[in-house]
């Protein structure tokens, strides 16, 4: 036994020593490999690498791509790139950075903010990268610096392309703007794709299609001497410019909408119903996006931010408003489709409505009431009592479900960032948001688009387009096409399949006929805009309460402060028989939909259908 064990031991030792010898050989071979590689780099390749490193420093200089341009549907440039001169510093080449900056500050009137931003950027950037101190230098500043240039080693003026928006406030809420890349942006961007680029889309189309617009960064291997002067280019990989985008927006039409709103604040959204393409996307008041490109000053920004008119607020996309009576045609459809409503049955309207066992009066906008009304005349005259009763008979959950099919209370999926969803309430919604149950009275006021109902203008415009399409569902879309090759036009939020609303043609006819009467009949609430029309408009007025009037009191426009006045709404599509445009207009504190909002819609429709200024 012992003998066996020792023989076993001997074998074990022999094998072990054998393996250890192999390990030692591995160590020697590995070391040899490293040494050979070192000799290759340090002796054979020494001259090559020494040349790269010695006096001549090879720098990889990024070549930022040119940002894609943005055009409107007629080829008008709405986002352009223009050359701009900026003062830039390569910190590694400056002996005393703080002192140099102080001298520059007195020479060129740099603001404290410019300096702060520079230090900030310096933290984020790779070594030997040129960092802008001030963009968009004036001719005078360029001249003043040019004279003193020799006293500022490491500081230079570079020409860069900078974004400009020729239509300024007309496009601010659609195209958005680019701004300096912030620390938050850097976290989500690929730093090597953005080296040499100082701007990124912050809002609007510029943000949505950032990946298409940006392009691909190229680079140059540059030889520079100790002073940092470029003495030769070794290799260049050209940048690939960003794709040029064409939007469906019509800038002329956009201007008409802005002008038609006049002094009022509000929003106008117009779509091509068949495709969902956006023709007008106006939010007023607006602002000039150009100062945001080079970095807006704090005072100017605060002024915009704190203005009571809220110009930075994108009303068309993010503003939520009660839709008022504009929901009535949709509700009529709901009645026909889900509650077996007989459109010819007349309902009497005494000018108010009361729930059983309740003293509360839900008033009609017309004091004496509308008499006996059927569905069509209820829409044409915008009878509130009819729709109070209709909403009750449909029931809130069925109503909410049906309105949801038109996209009420849902994001439309338009290709703009940060859209608001709004609300179309149901019992379940209330359970989640309130400790109280759903009250029948809330169904009543939901019937006239009040209460919890909050929609965005773009949402309303989409619903109108679906109505104009007689049920074919569309998603509003601004991007129409792109010009540059190479990039793929991945659609943001592709249109959903199977969301079309399938109803018998006579239902659509009834409601659309009523909407034509709104404009073209003597009792229509928007008859004021029918004069001189060569085609027919189907429309619906709406007035959304901002201020609630007490029981038994009378709302008097003249006595209510401007901010508390009702919002005026109007939805329309035309020509009624073959719709080519669908519009939603919201006029904040405009009073009556028929008198204030409808003319705005008419102006836009007229211009679009006739192709000329009204």
Partner 1 sequence: MNLDFESSWVQLSMAPSRFELWTRRLHVDLPLFAGLMTLSGVASVILYSASGQSVDVLLRQAVRLGLALIVMLAIAQIHPRHLRFYSPLLYGMGVLLLTAVLVIGEIGKGAQRWLDLGILRFQPSEILKLAVPMMVAWYLSERPLPPSLRHVAVSGLAIAIPVGLIAKQPDLGTAMLVGAAGAAVIFLAGLRWLYLFAVGALGAALLPVVWHFLHDYQRDRVLMFLNPEADPLGRGYHIIQSKIAIGSGGFYGKGWLHGTQAQLEFLPEKSTDFIFAVVAEEFGLLGCLGLLGIYLFIIGRCLYIVTQAQDSYARLLSGALTVTFFVYVFVNVGMVVGILPVVGVPLPLVSYGGTSMVTLLAGFGILMSIQTHRKLVAD
Query: Binder to partner 1 among 50, 82, 102, 613 (CB under 8 A)?
Result: 50
| CA atoms within 13 A of residue 488's CA, in its CB half-sphere | 3
Q: At what angle do helices 251-261 and 598-610 cross, to 10 degrees?
A: 150
Closest CA to 511 of 463, 561, 462: 463
**Which two tokens mark 326?**
């504009």
Q: Which stretch binds partner 1 (CB under 8 A): 51-59, 267-275, 464-472, 567-575?
A: 51-59
Q: How far is Cα 215 from Cα 196, in angstroms, rounded to an integer?
A: 12
Closest CA to 525 of 448, 598, 583: 598
Q: Which stretch binds partner 1 (CB under 8 A): 9-17, 153-161, 175-183, 537-545?
A: 9-17
For position 127 contacting partner 1 by CB under 8 A, the verdict is: yes
Q: Which stretch binds partner 1 (CB under 8 A): 12-20, 107-115, 394-402, 426-434?
A: 12-20
For position 231 contacting partner 1 by CB under 8 A, the verdict is: no
Question: Which x/- pattern over 85-124 shows residues binding partner 1 (rule: CB under 8 A)?
Answer: -------x--------------------------------
Number of residues that bind partner 1 (CB under 8 A): 49
Q: Check 283, 325, 426, 530 and give the catalytic one.
A: 325
Q: Which stretch binds partner 1 (CB under 8 A): 7-15, 341-349, 427-435, 461-469?
A: 7-15
Q: Which stretch binds partner 1 (CB under 8 A): 33-41, 79-87, 352-360, 465-473?
A: 33-41
Query: Binder to partner 1 among 37, 122, 360, 483 (CB under 8 A)?
Result: 37
Long-range contacts of 116-119 (CB under 8 A, 24+ apart): 117/180, 117/295, 118/89
Q: How far is the CB of 37 from partner 1 (least distance, A)?
A: 5
- Asked if residue 575 has a cis previous peptide bond (ω within 30° of 0), the answer is yes
Measured from the CB atom, the residue of 51 and 142 that comes closer to partner 1 is 51
Q: How far is the CB of 122 from partner 1 (least distance, A)?
A: 13
For position 53 contacting partner 1 by CB under 8 A, the verdict is: yes
Measured from the CB atom, the residue of 46 and 360 that comes closer to partner 1 is 46
- Asked if residue 285 has a cis previous peptide bond (ω within 30° of 0), the answer is yes
Q: How far is the CB of 223 from partner 1 (least distance, A)?
A: 13
For position 8 contacting partner 1 by CB under 8 A, the verdict is: yes
For position 348 contacting partner 1 by CB under 8 A, the verdict is: no
Query: Binder to partner 1 among 80, 221, 223, 401 (CB under 8 A)?
Result: 221
Residue 28: C-alpha distances to residues 23, 24, 39, 365 (Å): 9, 6, 16, 97
Closest CA to 419 of 79, 122, 173: 173
Q: Which stretch binds partner 1 (CB under 8 A): 158-166, 186-194, 359-367, 542-550?
A: 186-194
Q: How far is the CB of 40 from partner 1 (least distance, A)?
A: 9
Closest CA to 568 of 285, 324, 269: 324
Which residues between 269 and 308 bind partner 1 (CB under 8 A)? none
For position 16 contacting partner 1 by CB under 8 A, the verdict is: yes
43: exposed, middle or buried (Cβ count in 10 Å: 0-12, 13-18, 19+): exposed
CB-CB contact of 67 with 243 (8 Å): no
Would you call 106 helix, strand, or coil by DSSP? helix
Q: How far is the CB of 5 from partner 1 (least distance, A)?
A: 10
Q: How far is Cα 5 from Cα 7, in angstroms, rounded to an integer?
A: 5
Measured from the CB atom, the residue of 189 and 560 that comes closer to partner 1 is 189
For position 74 contacting partner 1 by CB under 8 A, the verdict is: no
255: exposed, middle or buried (Cβ count in 10 Å: 0-12, 13-18, 19+): middle
Q: At what angle do helices 384-394 and 328-338 cross, to 10 degrees?
A: 40
For position 49 contacting partner 1 by CB under 8 A, the verdict is: yes
Q: Which stretch binds partner 1 (CB under 8 A): 185-193, 285-293, 535-543, 545-553?
A: 185-193
Q: CA 449, 453, 454, 460 torsion: positive or negative?
A: negative
The question of whether 325 is a catalytic residue gets the answer yes
Query: Binder to partner 1 among 7, 19, 483, 610 (CB under 8 A)?
Result: 19
Pairing of strands 57-63, 218-224: antiparallel
Closest CA to 194 of 67, 374, 305: 67
Q: How far is the CB of 221 from partner 1 (least distance, A)?
A: 8
Q: How far is the CB of 25 from partner 1 (least distance, A)?
A: 11
For position 223 contacting partner 1 by CB under 8 A, the verdict is: no
Q: How far is the CB of 450 from partner 1 (least distance, A)?
A: 43
Query: Binder to partner 1 among 7, 33, 350, 372 (CB under 8 A)?
Result: 33
Would you call 507 helix, strand, or coil by DSSP? helix
For position 62 contacting partner 1 by CB under 8 A, the verdict is: yes
For position 217 contacting partner 1 by CB under 8 A, the verdict is: yes
Which residues between 480 and 539 bind partner 1 (CB under 8 A)? none
For position 57 contacting partner 1 by CB under 8 A, the verdict is: yes
For position 192 contacting partner 1 by CB under 8 A, the verdict is: yes
CB-CB contact of 88 with 125 (8 Å): no
Q: What is the dihedral of CA 329, 334, 340, 341, to 10 degrees?
A: -20
**H or E, element range at 397:** helix 396-405
For position 610 contacting partner 1 by CB under 8 A, the verdict is: no
Which residues in 577-607 are b (16+ Cβ under 10 Å) and which e? Answer: eebbbbbbbbbbbbbbbbbbbbbbbbbbbbb
List, by residue number, the catalytic residues.
325
Residues engaged in binding partner 1 (CB under 8 A): 8, 10-13, 15-20, 22-24, 26-27, 30-31, 33-35, 37-39, 41-43, 45-46, 48-50, 52-54, 57-58, 60, 62, 92, 127-128, 190-192, 195, 217, 219, 221
């Amino acid at each position: 036994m012992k003998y066996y064990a020792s023989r076993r031991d001997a074998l074990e030792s022999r094998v072990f020593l054998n393996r250890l010898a192999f390990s030692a050989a591995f160590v020697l071979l590995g070391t040899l490999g490293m040494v050979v590689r070192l000799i290759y780099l340090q002796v054979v390749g020494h001259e090559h690498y020494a040349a790269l490193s010695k006096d001549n420093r090879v720098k990889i200089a990024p070549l930022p791509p040119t940002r894609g341009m943005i055009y409107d549907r007629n080829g008008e440039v709405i986002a352009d790139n223009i050359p701009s001169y900026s003062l830039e510093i390569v910190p590694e080449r400056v002996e005393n950075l703080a002192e140099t900056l102080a001298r520059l500050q007195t020479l060129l009137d740099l603001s404290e903010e410019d300096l702060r931003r520079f230090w900030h950027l310096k933290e984020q950037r790779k070594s030997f990268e040129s960092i802008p101190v001030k963009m968009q230098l004036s001719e005078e500043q360029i001249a003043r610096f040019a004279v003193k240039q020799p006293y500022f080693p490491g500081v230079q003026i570079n020409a860069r392309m900078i974004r400009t928006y020729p239509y300024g406030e007309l496009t601010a809420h659609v195209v958005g703007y680019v701004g300096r890349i912030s620390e938050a942006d850097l976290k989500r961007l690929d730093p090597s794709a953005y080296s040499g680029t100082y701007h990124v889309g912050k809002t609007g189309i510029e943000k949505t299609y950032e990946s298409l617009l940006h392009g691909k960064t190229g680079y140059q291997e540059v030889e520079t001497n100790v002073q940092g002067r470029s003495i030769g280019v070794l290799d260049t990989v050209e940048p690939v410019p960003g794709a040029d985008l064409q939007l469906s927006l019509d800038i002329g039409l956009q201007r008409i909408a802005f002008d038609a709103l006049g002094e009022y604040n509000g929003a106008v959204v117009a779509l091509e119903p068949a495709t969902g393409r956006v023709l007008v996307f106006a939010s007023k008041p607006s602002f000039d996006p150009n100062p945001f490109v080079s970095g807006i000053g704090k005072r100017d920004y605060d002024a915009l931010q704190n203005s009571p008119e809220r110009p930075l607020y994108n009303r068309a996309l993010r503003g939520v408003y009660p839709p008022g009576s504009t929901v009535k045609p949709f509700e009529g459809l709901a009645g026909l489709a889900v509650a077996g409503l007989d459109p010819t049955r007349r309902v009497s309207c005494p000018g108010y409505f009361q729930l059983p066992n309740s003293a509360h009066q839900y008033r009609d906008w017309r004091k004496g009431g509308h008499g006996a009304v059927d569905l069509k005349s209820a829409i044409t005259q915008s009878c509130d009592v009819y729709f109070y009763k209709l909403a009750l008979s449909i029931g809130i959950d069925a109503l909410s479900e049906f309105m949801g099919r038109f996209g009420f209370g849902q994001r439309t999926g338009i290709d703009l960032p940060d859209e608001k969803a709004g609300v179309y309430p149901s019992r379940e919604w209330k359970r989640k948001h309130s400790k109280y149950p759903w009250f029948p009275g809330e169904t009543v006021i939901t019937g006239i688009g009040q209460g919890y109902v909050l929609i965005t203008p773009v949402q309303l415009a989409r619903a109108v387009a679906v109505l104009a399409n007689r049920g074919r569902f569309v998603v509003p879309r601004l991007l129409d096409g792109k010009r540059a090759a190479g990039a793929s036009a991945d659609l943001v939020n592709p249109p959903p399949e199977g969301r079309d609303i399938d109803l018998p043609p006579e239902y659509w006819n009834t409601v659309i006929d009523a909407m034509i009467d709104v404009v073209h009949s003597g009792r229509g609430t928007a008859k004021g805009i029918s004069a001189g029309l060569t085609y027919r408009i189907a429309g619906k007025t709406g007035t959304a309460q901002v201020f609630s009037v007490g029981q038994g009191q009378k709302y008097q426009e003249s006595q209510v402060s401007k901010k508390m006045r009702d919002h005026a709404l109007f939805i329309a599509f035309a020509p009624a028989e073959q719709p080519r445009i669908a519009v939603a207009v919201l006029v904040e504190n405009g009073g009556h939909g028929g008198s204030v909002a409808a003319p705005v819609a008419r102006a836009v429709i007229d211009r679009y259908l006739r192709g000329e200024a009204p």
